[in-house]
């Protein structure tokens, strides 16, 4: 038996093996399929930029034109670079513009023409990957120059005005007040757009549109704050929805530090087709691995729709699956911000002890991962005094169990969009608890055989039982039956299915070739 919970190492190893068994068929599916967003990400790495007068990105126009002529299953890189050579066009964005006008046709070349197109595609995409490498090296230099926050957990705070030029001063004010990570919440509904908007945006709904220019503006602003404060301030956005691979690519190019990226969130809560999601997720995580980006997974969302006690084991199962998918894509443990949340009904007897058990179980199952600990939302009522107290208890659990990333809870959470003053009070709460009890995890040891240990063992056992059932029936079937978050999502339905294709025999993706070939 090991750790504060006395977990059986054999059972923990069994849980990981079952997660691998459940996840491997999904990985095989992802490796044998592509999507329009994967192919658009490839062309973004190759240099396609900009949008047409209607705001539709040229990369969308180019992929649509290729698919119309030769289909999706070959990949778009070879037809595109073959057309560049045939038409004697030097710029891939110009090719996209001509394709949108109907003046270029695409074909799947063979022989020497195919070989030449592959080489040209790899050179162009390789230049984009090298830019991501440079941005990662730049982050490393800035962290060395300015330093990291002095303590864990890192304090994670959200801005979400809809206007990037309003977000920036709010983010800088939050950093001055103690936030270590700024998350720019994405505009409601953007996950269902099958394109990435272009340019800086000033109108969003409950959030700000995620665009490359908005990424660039916020990163530059937080670099100013890092210099001012003498600590590197990290930036978070979203690699989820129908454009997950493109978001990951743009984040790498603009040196974002964290991205929301969960294996099943889009399936369960946005009704995006499961196959589309798993294919997009694998490519996006390969890019995250290369860019040195920490992913944040979304298990906390399950507990907003399902009971946080009865379904606690589904969180553990999802964490184990997210870990497997992440490792397979090349992510290291330090990049796994696995999610969980303080969402047990506070009126339930022993709710605080249950929260401790669940949080400590996650901490001990994933000792090298910077777990992302999420505040209460489901049971916030609008009573701001009670809400602030709940957030204090949430912060205390984070301190007692050594969480890595603590999302600042606010007393108006899930009731109204918090005011700046709400954020300031919430940060005071965090600073007090971490200042007074930040090292308490060194002293806190649950009683051997007591309530907390027994509860953790029970959740792990239920997680193993569920993983065994998933392995017998398949993960896609389990998702279709509503196993996670009580959402039923069949594999043959959902948004984005028409943008998925099985690989043809001559499928070629230079980005995947580079990202997989350069792995240690």
Q: Is 443 tagged catalytic? A: no
Distance CA(423)–CA(226), nearest Å, equals: 20
Q: Are 343 and 379 in contact (CB under 8 A)?
A: yes
Q: Give the β-pairing of 33-35 and 336-337.
A: unpaired
Q: Is 300 tagged catalytic? A: yes
Query: Burial, 485: exposed, middle or buried (Cβ in 10 Å; 0-12, 13-18, 19+)?
Result: buried
Q: Is 4 tagged catalytic? A: no
Q: Are 279 and 503 in contact (CB under 8 A)?
A: no
Dihedral of CA 422/427/433/436: which sign? Answer: negative
Please, which residues have CB within 8 angstroms of residue 116's CB and are 6 or more apart in sequence? 81, 82, 85
3-state secondary structure 248-296: HHHHHHCCCCEEECCCCHHHHHHCECHHHHHHHHHHHHHHHHHHCCEEE
Largest Cα span, the chain = 74
Closest listed residue to residue 284, CA positions, set 327, 337, 245:
245
Determine which one of 262, 280, 300, 422 is catalytic: 300
Distance CA(496)–CA(498), nearest Å, equals: 5
Write the DSSP symbol of residue 255: T
**E strand segments, 379-495:** 405-407
Determine which one of 156, 195, 238, 265 is catalytic: 265
Closest listed residue to residue 226, CA positions, set 171, 295, 184:
171
Determine which one of 82, 238, 280, 372 is catalytic: 372
Q: Give the β-pairing of 33-35 and 500-502.
A: antiparallel
One-character DSSP codes across 189-213:
TGGG-SS---S-----SSSB---HH
Q: Are 440 and 400 in contact (CB under 8 A)?
A: yes
Other Cβ atoms closer than 10 A to 272? 25
Distance CA(82)–CA(117), nearest Å, equals: 5
Q: Are 264 and 280 in contact (CB under 8 A)?
A: no
Residue positions annotated with a catalytic role: 265, 300, 372
């Amino acid at each position: 038996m090991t750790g504060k919970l006395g977990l059986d190492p054999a059972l923990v190893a069994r849980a990981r093996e079952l997660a691998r068994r459940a996840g491997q068929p999904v990985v095989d599916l992802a490796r044998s399929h592509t999507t329009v967003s994967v192919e658009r990400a490839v062309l973004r790495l190759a240099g396609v930029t900009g949008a047409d007068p209607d705001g539709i990105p040229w990369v969308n126009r180019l992929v649509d034109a290729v698919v119309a002529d030769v289909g999706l299953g070959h990949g778009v890189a070879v037809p595109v670079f073959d057309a560049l050579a045939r038409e004697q066009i030097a710029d891939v964005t110009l090719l996209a513009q001509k394709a949108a006008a109907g003046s270029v046709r695409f074909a799947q070349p063979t022989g020497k023409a195919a070989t030449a197109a592959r080489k040209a595609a790899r050179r162009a995409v390789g230049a984009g990957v090298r830019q991501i490498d440079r941005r990662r090296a730049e982050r490393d230099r800035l962290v060395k120059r300015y330093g990291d926050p002095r303590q864990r957990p890192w304090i994670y705070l959200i801005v979400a005005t809809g206007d990037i030029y309003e977000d920036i001063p709010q983010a800088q004010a939050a950093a001055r007040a103690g936030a270590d990570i700024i998350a720019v919440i994405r505009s409601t509904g953007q996950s269902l757009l099958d394109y990435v908007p272009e340019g800086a945006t000033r109108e969003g709904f409950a959030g700000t549109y995620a665009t490359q220019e908005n990424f660039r503006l916020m990163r530059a602003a937080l670099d100013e704050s890092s210099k001012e404060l003498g600590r590197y301030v990290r930036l978070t956005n979203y690699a989820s929805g129908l454009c997950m691979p493109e978001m990951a690519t743009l984040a790498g190019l603009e040196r974002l530090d964290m991205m929301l990226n969960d294996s099943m969130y889009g399936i369960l809560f946005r009704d995006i087709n499961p196959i589309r999601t798993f294919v997009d997720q694998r490519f996006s995580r390969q890019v995250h691995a290369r860019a040195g980006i920490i992913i944040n997974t979304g298990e906390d969302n399950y507990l907003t729709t399902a009971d946080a006690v009865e379904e606690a084991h589904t969180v553990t199962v999802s964490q184990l699956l997210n870990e497997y998918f992440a490792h397979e894509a090349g992510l290291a443990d330090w990049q796994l911000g696995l999610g969980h949340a303080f969402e047990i009904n506070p009126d339930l007897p022993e709710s605080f002890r249950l929260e401790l058990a669940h949080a400590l179980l996650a901490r001990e199952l994933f000792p090298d991962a910077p777990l992302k600990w999420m505040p209460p939302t489901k049971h916030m009522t609008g009573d701001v005094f009670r809400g602030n107290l709940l957030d204090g208890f949430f912060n205390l659990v984070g301190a007692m169990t050594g969480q890595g990333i603590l999302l600042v809870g606010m007393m108006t959470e899930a009731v109204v969009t918090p005011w700046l003053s709400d954020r300031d009070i919430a940060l005071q709460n965090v600073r007090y608890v971490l200042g007074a009890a930040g090292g308490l995890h060194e002293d806190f040891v649950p009683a051997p055989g007591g309530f907390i240990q027994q509860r953790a063992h029970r959740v792990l056992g239920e997680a193993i039982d569920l993983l065994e059932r998933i392995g017998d029936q398949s993960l896609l079937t389990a998702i279709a039956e509503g196993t996670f978050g009580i959402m039923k999502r069949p594999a043959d339905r959902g948004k984005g299915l028409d943008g998925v294709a099985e690989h043809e025999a001559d499928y070629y993706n230079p980005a995947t070739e580079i990202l997989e070939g350069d792995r240690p």
